[in-house]
Structure formats: structure tokens, C-alpha cells
Chain A
């Protein structure tokens, strides 16, 4: 092997090392939404579904305000880090997911109201609300684990 070739290979290896280092530095700056923040958001949305399902609207405004504050806090936290994580889903997938999620939210409330009114099954709305809390919390944990996996892959 010629000396020129060895230098070229060494330079390429250094460039690859530098790339990995920067990728890791970038990912390290993306702070995932803490699990506890996801849990609180899940509990708030679950409680709102449970209360609306039981046709208790007294605390609805307070809950909506709290949910909006939580969402703004999460967005603001992301922006203050100076980096935004790359969303691996396509725009089409996100639109389809949102189109499915929003009707599901209203369906959950209507189901709770229906079960309460027709079968006098008072726990139904609580169970549905609890189910939504678990789903939201699971999604947050999934995102947290996916982030850690990407970070570890980049480090190795």
C-alpha cells in the first residue's frame, strides 16, 4: 500500500470519527420530555375524559387551561435547548395519526356518557379515562426509550 493511500485512509477515518462525535453531541442536546411530565399530561387528559364522560363539567375549563400550559411548557423546553429532534414519521403518517386520535378522544367521552346513561355503569368513564392515561404515558415512555436507543447507537 502506498503512503498516499495510507494518509487518505487515515484522513477518512478521522472524518468518520468526527462525524460520529458531532452526531452524538447533537443527540445529547435533545432532552426528551421527562417521564413525569408525560405522566402529568396523561393524568390531566385521562381525568378530563373521565369527568366529561360522567357529565361533570365543573372542572373542564381548569383542566383545559392546565393541559394547554403543559403543552406550551413542553414546546418551550424543546425550543430553549436550541435543537429540535428529527421526526422520523412522514407528514402523511402524522396527519393520519391526528385524524384518528381526535375522533378517538371524543368517542371515549361519548362512550363514557353512553355507558353511564344506559347501563348505569358509573365506573365506565373512569376506566376509559384511566385507559387514556396509560396510553399517553406509554407513548411518552416509548419516545424516551427510542431516544436513549438512538443516543447509545450513536455513542457506540
Chain B
């Protein structure tokens, strides 16, 4: 039975932060992720695309007060991969 698994796709700092931000929430708007990570739109889009390509996050488009918004959420696969990755990090730290 696997309790932890290192995931190289998640481990990249920006992608790790994206997953960490999404993990306690249902969905987060693109603008909020950009503000929290303090990166440009293009950098964020690149990381989001990588996570979308492996099926870890999904996006939903909607309009809030007439403004087009992109909302992102972790898929079940992404949540599971993130949790396993966190467990692996904890295991590495506890081996000290």
C-alpha cells in the first residue's frame, strides 16, 4: 500500500503553491492565484496548463459582475497526488 509518492510535476515551486492554494478551497479565480503567487499572467498560464495536461486541475469559466472569470479547482486525481506528495515531503523531513 502506497502512503506517499514524490510527484515531480507538483514539486516545482509555482505548481506546488498553486496546488497548496487550491487544496483547502473549492475553487479559486485566476486573478487570486496570480496575486498570491506574485507572477505574471503568462507564467501562471504556463504552470496551469501543465497541471491541466496531467489532469490535476480543471477550469470553469463564468461571469461575475459582467466580468469574464476563470475559476480553477483540484480534480480528485490532483488532490490525491498532492496529498501523497505532501506525505512524501513529511517523510523526508521526519527521516532527519
Contact = CB atoms under 8 A, between A and B. Distances in A.
Given A16-B86, A25-B36, A84 B93 contact: no
The secondary-structure label for the interface of chain A is helix
Given A79-B64, A82-B31, A85-B26, A16 B89 contact: yes
The number of chain A residues touching the other chain, given as a range, is 20 to 34
Interface in A1-50: 1, 8-9, 12-13, 15-16, 18-23, 25-27, 29-30
A82 B93 CA distance: 34
Interface residues of B, number: 28
Contacts of A150: 24
Contacts, number: 80
A152 B21 CA distance: 16
A-B residue pairs, 10 tightest by C-beta = A82-B29, A22-B20, A82-B32, A12-B92, A19-B20, A86-B26, A84-B26, A12-B89, A22-B21, A26-B21
Interface of B: 11, 13, 16-17, 20-29, 31-32, 36, 64-65, 69, 71, 86, 89-90, 92-93, 95-96
